[in-house]
Structures are given as C-alpha cells and as structure tokens.
C-alpha cells in the first residue's frame, strides 16, 4: 500500500513538472509573437531613446519591469537590428526584443 502512495506521489510530481514545462514553452511562444519578439517582428525606431522608452513601457507577464542584461547588433538582409536581452526584476524570466534601427543611421 505504501508503494502505491509513493508511486502516486511520483506521478503527481511528474505531471506538475510536465505542466510547468508546457506552460513555460507556451508563454515563450506568446512572448515571441509580441512586437520585437523575432527579427521579423522588429520594432522600428528612429532614435535610440525610443528603445529605452519601449523597454520602460514593457512589462513581464508577472507584472515586473525588465532590466537590460545585454545588447547586440546585427545586419539582416540590409536591415540593421538592435537586440536587447532583458530580465524581469521580479521573476527573473529572460526575453529578447529586436529593434529595427536602420532609420537611426540615415
Ligand atoms: Zn516577471
């Protein structure tokens, strides 16, 4: 009988763990569908201060504000992209936002 409860507890733990992984993946997919979530959805800006404004205005799904972890630049098919890696100040979820900064250099 004890073995049955141990097996049941293990199955429940596995089910909760699988659900968390599924929810995290689903949320990641939704985050990539937001403006700037992929290079194809890059947010077009005309100045670098617009990038700061966008980051300040964006909230994590938990309600937390993002902090910039790092930045990088890429050129893709003639489009200059700025990539920001962000981390939520509350839940520490990391995300990325792409900006089209081609207009900044013209
Ligand atoms: Zn968060």
Q: Can you give the CATH number for the domain in which 68 is found?
A: 2.30.30
92 CA → ligand 1 middle, Å: 6
Do 48 and 19 share a structural domain? no
57 CA → ligand 1 middle, Å: 14
φ/ψ of residue 43, rounded to 5: -80, 120
> CA 17 from chain center: how many Å?
21
Do 39 and 21 share a structural domain? no
| 78-88: average pLDDT | 95
pTM of the complete model: 0.77
The length of the chain in residues reads 106
The pocket of ion ligand 1, defined by CB under 5 A, consists of 60, 62, 64, 88, 90-91, 93
User: Hey, which residues does 97 pair with through a beta bridge?
Assistant: 84
* Residue 72 clears pLDDT 90, i.e. is over it: yes
Cα-atom radius of gyration of the chain, to the nearest Å? 19
Would you state the pLDDT for residue 1? 85
The count of structural domains within the chain is 2
56 CA → ligand 1 middle, Å: 14
> CA 5 from chain center: how many Å?
39
């Amino acid at each position: 009988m004890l073995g049955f409860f141990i097996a049941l507890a293990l199955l429940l733990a596995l089910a909760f763990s699988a659900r968390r992984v599924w929810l995290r993946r689903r949320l990641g997919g939704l985050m990539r569908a937001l403006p700037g979530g992929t290079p194809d959805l890059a947010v077009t800006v005309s100045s670098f201060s617009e990038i700061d404004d966008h980051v300040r205005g964006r909230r994590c799904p938990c309600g937390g504000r993002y902090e910039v972890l790092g930045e990088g630049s890429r050129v893709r098919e003639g489009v200059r992209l700025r990539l920001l890696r962000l981390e939520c100040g509350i839940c520490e979820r990391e995300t990325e936002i792409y900006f089209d900064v081609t207009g900044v250099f013209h």
